[in-house]
Amino acid sequence: MGRKAKARSLEVHFEVIELKVRLHQFLSKTGHFSSKREAKDAVWRGEITVNGSIVKDIAYQFNPRTRPVEYNGRRLFLPDSDITFVMNKPSGYLCARINDNERAIGKRSVFDLFEEHVDATVHARLLTVGRLDEATTGLLIVTTSGDLVHRITAPEHHVLKRYWVSAKRPLTEEAEQQLIEGVSIELESEGVISYYLTQPARLERVHERDFILEVSEGKKRQVRRMVAAVGNAVEHLHRLSIANATLDQFDLDEGALVEVKPSEIESWFEQT
């Protein structure tokens, strides 16, 4: 093997080793155990599974990115590692943390749907990547990574989002053209109203009242406001995709969610 090839092979070898940790070290770092001894005892008692199998060897080496660890059936995470989920958002859930008063009047948060999937420390760090209205359904990305939120929502990144719009009335050809070219929508910030001309969008008709609208911006209630601006109204709104991530590829029932790996997230941004 030549010198360069040997060096490369060593690099790869080190990367692989670095990704692996010993089970007792991983458990101590999760913050779930008050001492190293308590973490080890949990392993010896058979309360820890790695990738679904009980592991009683405290020195067991594994890659926590690819092999989930559970303690008495609850998933454990390293406090500083990021985790990302894709969910099929159901109607009737807010993309926000809600307080007791809001709960008392029947409001629900998308974060409620994560309670059985992540522990409290991860739950507290979850962010939605942009917001869908309470009534909107479809693709929602939820993550602990502020960088991922920025990568998708920063206006200068122009990430494309596709929505299935069911309108109350048939879409006229004139309205279709206006939506494609850009319409003036009202925006409100701290009580001040301003007007914003939307960027050119793509539109694909499906039926008389149904069409797919692709936009590269994410102003508050943008699609509903655009449809209102052309004299129509949204009956139902469903997000189909964000960049290359399509809801179809995940095959999720409403309210269901799935964790996505970093490599999969990268593929969302690849040029196709």
Which residue's CB is nearer to ligand URA, number 132 or number 175? Answer: 132
176 makes contact with ligand URA (CB under 6 A): no
* Cβ-proximal residues to 33 (8 Å cutoff; 6+ apart), any chain: 27, 39, 42
Helix ranges (DSSP H) in the chain: 3-19, 23-29, 36-44, 100-104, 120-125, 146-153, 173-181, 222-229, 262-267
- Please tell me the distance from the alpha carbon of residue 87 to that of residue 255, in angstroms, as a whole number: 7
Q: Are 57 and 42 in contact, with CB atoms under 8 Å apart?
A: no
User: Cβ 215 to ligand URA, closest distance in Å?
Assistant: 8
Which residue's CB is nearer to ligand URA, number 24 or number 161? Answer: 161
Among 221, 229, 236, 264, which residue sits at the site for ligand URA (rule: CB under 6 A)? 221
88 makes contact with ligand URA (CB under 6 A): no
Which residue's entry shows tokens 């979850």?
Answer: 126
Which residue's CB is nearer to ligand URA, number 143 or number 198? Answer: 198
Which residue's CB is nearer to ligand URA, number 39 or number 132? Answer: 132
222 makes contact with ligand URA (CB under 6 A): yes
Q: Where does this chain touch ligand URA (CB under 6 A) — which range of 25-33, 188-196, 222-230, 258-266?
A: 222-230
Helix ranges (DSSP H) in 129-172: 146-153
- Please tell me the distance from the alpha carbon of residue 220 to that of residue 107, in angstroms, as a whole number: 19
Q: Where does this chain touch ligand URA (CB under 6 A) — which range of 96-104, 111-119, 130-138, 251-259?
A: 130-138
User: Cβ 8 to ligand URA, closest distance in Å?
Assistant: 46
Q: Where does this chain touch ligand URA (CB under 6 A) — which range of 31-39, 63-71, 215-223, 264-272?
A: 215-223
Determine which helix (DSSP H) or strand (DSSP E) holds 17, and give its type and residue range.
helix 3-19
Catalytic residue check, 147: no
> Which among 82, 112, 133, 210 is annotated as catalytic?
133
- Please tell me the distance from the alpha carbon of residue 9 to that of residue 244, in angstroms, as a whole number: 32
Side chain identity, residue 210: D
The tokens for 107 are: 């409001």
Residues in contact with ligand URA by the rule CB under 6 A: 132-133, 136, 221-224, 237
